[in-house]
Amino acid sequence: MRINTYSEYEIAYRKSVEDPEAFWTEIAENFNWIKKWDRTLEYNFDEPNIKWFQGGKLNITENCLDRHLEKLGDKTALIFEPNDPKETYRKFTYRELHEQICVFANVLKDLGVQKGDRICIYMPMIPELAFAVLACARIGAIHSVVFAGFSAHALADRIIDAEAKVVICSDGLNRGHKQIPIKSTVDEALENCPSVEKVVVVNRLNWPVKMKSGRDIWYQDAIKRVNSDCPATEMDAEDMLFILYTSGSTGKPKGVVHSCGGYMVYAGYSFLNVFQYDNEDIHFCTADIGWVTGHSYILYGPLLNGATTVMFEGIPTFPDPARFWQIIEKYAVTHFYTAPTAIRSLMQSGEEHVLPYGLDSLKVLGSVGEPINEEAWRWYNIHVGKERCPVIDTWWQTETGGVMISGLAGISPLRPAHAGQPLPGIQPVLLDGEGNEIAENDKEGYLCIKFPWPGMLRTTYGDHERCRLTYFSTYKGYYFTGDGARRDENGLYRIIGRVDDVINVSGHRFGTAEIENAINQNKNVVESAVVGYPHDLKGQGIYAYVICHNQPSIDEMQWIRASILETVVEQIGPIAKPDKIQFVYGLPKTRSGKIMRRILRKVAEGDTANLGDISTLLDPMVVEELKAGVVL
């Protein structure tokens, strides 16, 4: 299943387009199926209805763990590097990881968890998070991991939407020099979540936390009551494996649903080929398991391939900006996968932090989450990869399950700031404004995918119509990514960015409406409008235009600003705090009441010379006021 040369890539790609079913059949045969599937693919993009490997029976954890035990039982599967470099690391062999997962799965079973139940996991990056995720998969419970930086309010929304029966959390978490509570946030969220029956609490910080009797149990106590024998539950290929919430252009995040069979095949296949994984490689992906990158390329992808994967609890700048390089040296990491925002921030700290570390083990560098600018790409290539390691820019989405457009490391042509070519099995197209396919190269358009692939989302949890409307209705017969892209003269894709009302802040995705809803909860605010603007470190920053009840004085603006930030932290979390707030009297609206965001974006960018046609505005004077406004 591994492609080794560029011509093998071309052959695989051609086959995958000419006969996708034969192509994916052959790939899927590399996995363990309890029963083979009857039908490789059934689909239509109208409803949408997408079914891969129908009739197939499997359990993904048997593929991640059990099948490796005979040959790789003593191989390190997971390395846990704690936040504080002085704390000892933990390593788990495949055998040990298997045991831990069976134990955790039995704890869940003891609590009455059954196949199909939803389990919300709200945890720091500690080994028990990995155990929890895989324990759910072991028994067919659907995991919904919520990034531990989200607020109680955001957590509650996600628990309610999924009707989760159990929440798995910790007492608190380490983040650089700070310790942050988790359990108390869960308690606050659960005030409004009637579906939750049990809470499993992992002890990380030895903090005294309140335990609600009958509901809350300590993980460290519960594991004493179970054994490590837990057969894997047989799943249908199309059963749900997990839900992962992500932001869209409306206010409410949606639960992207991935399936057991198709996701497994795509996570395993894409990991092997994009990273060109070899048996002894050590893979370090710096994402949080709260995002899809962590699901696919810390856990499932590496484990499906019998790899060693590093899980890091901390942040790149603690105790100093050499933390990543120190970890690479410590474990002789071969594959390093991070986000442009981290690269830019470490670049700013200077090469002197990289130079002292032995990075000779590195073979492949990866980037993900947002467009990587050429300067950051070159710095990464020169100072981290020493110009010896291919730098792959991997484009994909929560919805796609795995990497879609990227060079295959060391095989494909690379061009800075370009994601490159599609993986075999992926058929991207650029559409023009009318929805016609653009055939020529050296052109820009809306990025769509015209044929299904196994890792694609199947629905949005509890609201299939929303899935149809968001992804399959803009351009009939296509999956619409929400991104704009350019295909260069050689057919390499460069992702330009979102074309919908989604902004990408340090690789985190937010709907502008979602942040507006949060800001509007502040009692001083009448109305708000949020746009993204170019930000040196974060890629995009959050710029909020706010109308207050009475136009505040400069002094009042200061405290209202602080109060708005607090509201956003309460509603969503610190990651969604606006970078800039501008107090205005009015917003540029058309006669039909629609906000002209184009103007807001231009003003936010400081590009006010050419605002385009403003004659359709209800009150064109608003524009002058916007230009002269106070920005805090």
- Confirm or reject binding of residue 284 to ligand WT7 (CB under 6 A): no
When the beta carbons of 40 and 398 are compared against ligand WT7, the nearer one is 398
Burial 513-537 (b: 16+ CB within 10 A, else e): bbbbbbbbebebbeebbbbbbebee
E strands, 404-538, are 428-431, 443-449, 459-460, 479-487, 493-498, 502-505, 508-511, 525-535
Inter-residue contact 200 to 111 (CB < 8 Å): yes
CA 375-379-385 angle, 5° bins: 145
Binding part of the chain for ligand WT7, among 47-55, 126-134, 166-174, 493-501 by CB under 6 A, reads 493-501
When the beta carbons of 130 and 419 are compared against ligand WT7, the nearer one is 419
- Confirm or reject binding of residue 459 to ligand WT7 (CB under 6 A): no
| 490 DSSP 8-state letter | T
What is the C-alpha to C-alpha distance for residues 414 and 492, in angstroms, rounded to an integer? 9
What is the C-alpha to C-alpha distance for residues 528 and 583, in angstroms, rounded to an integer? 9
Least Å from the CB of residue 34 to ligand WT7: 30
- Confirm or reject binding of residue 524 to ligand WT7 (CB under 6 A): no
- Confirm or reject binding of residue 426 to ligand WT7 (CB under 6 A): no
Burial 152-179 (b: 16+ CB within 10 A, else e): bbbbbbbbbbbebbbbbbbbbbbbeeee
- Confirm or reject binding of residue 395 to ligand WT7 (CB under 6 A): yes
- Confirm or reject binding of residue 582 to ligand WT7 (CB under 6 A): no
Q: List, edge to edge, every strand of the sheet that includes 90-93.
A: 90-93, 76-81, 308-312, 282-285, 335-338, 364-368, 391-394
**Residues in a beta bridge with 497:** 484
Binding part of the chain for ligand WT7, among 206-214, 264-272, 305-313, 490-498 by CB under 6 A, reads 490-498
Q: Tokens in use for 568?
A: 């956003």
Out of 292, 304, 587, 622, the only residue in the binding site for ligand WT7 (CB under 6 A) is 292
What is the C-alpha to C-alpha distance for residues 64 and 632, in angstroms, rounded to an integer? 50
Least Å from the CB of residue 397 to ligand WT7: 4
Out of 504, 522, 571, 582, the only residue in the binding site for ligand WT7 (CB under 6 A) is 504
Angle separating helix axes 260-275 and 20-28, nearest 10 degrees: 90
- Confirm or reject binding of residue 293 to ligand WT7 (CB under 6 A): yes
Least Å from the CB of residue 248 to ligand WT7: 10
- Confirm or reject binding of residue 99 to ligand WT7 (CB under 6 A): no
Q: Tokens in use for 8?
A: 């093998």
- Confirm or reject binding of residue 396 to ligand WT7 (CB under 6 A): yes
- Confirm or reject binding of residue 482 to ligand WT7 (CB under 6 A): yes
Out of 77, 202, 304, 495, the only residue in the binding site for ligand WT7 (CB under 6 A) is 495
Least Å from the CB of residue 128 to ligand WT7: 24
- Confirm or reject binding of residue 420 to ligand WT7 (CB under 6 A): no
Binding part of the chain for ligand WT7, among 60-68, 260-268, 466-474, 495-503 by CB under 6 A, reads 495-503
Binding part of the chain for ligand WT7, among 120-128, 315-323, 393-401, 430-438 by CB under 6 A, reads 393-401
When the beta carbons of 237 and 405 are compared against ligand WT7, the nearer one is 405
CA 506-509-511 angle, 5° bins: 130
Out of 483, 501, 514, 516, the only residue in the binding site for ligand WT7 (CB under 6 A) is 483
When the beta carbons of 83 and 296 are compared against ligand WT7, the nearer one is 296
What is the C-alpha to C-alpha distance for residues 260 and 61, in angstroms, rounded to an integer? 10
Least Å from the CB of residue 421 to ligand WT7: 13
- Confirm or reject binding of residue 474 to ligand WT7 (CB under 6 A): no
Tokens 């690269």 sit at which residue? 343
Q: Tokens in use for 522?
A: 């502040």
Instruction: Classify strands 428-431 and 391-394 as parallel, antiparallel or unpaired.
Output: unpaired
Q: Tokens in use for 534?
A: 């170019």
Least Å from the CB of residue 632 to ligand WT7: 28
When the beta carbons of 170 and 286 are compared against ligand WT7, the nearer one is 286
Out of 170, 246, 270, 567, the only residue in the binding site for ligand WT7 (CB under 6 A) is 246
Binding site for ligand WT7 (CB under 6 A): 246, 291-293, 368-371, 393-398, 419, 481-483, 495, 497-498, 504, 507, 509
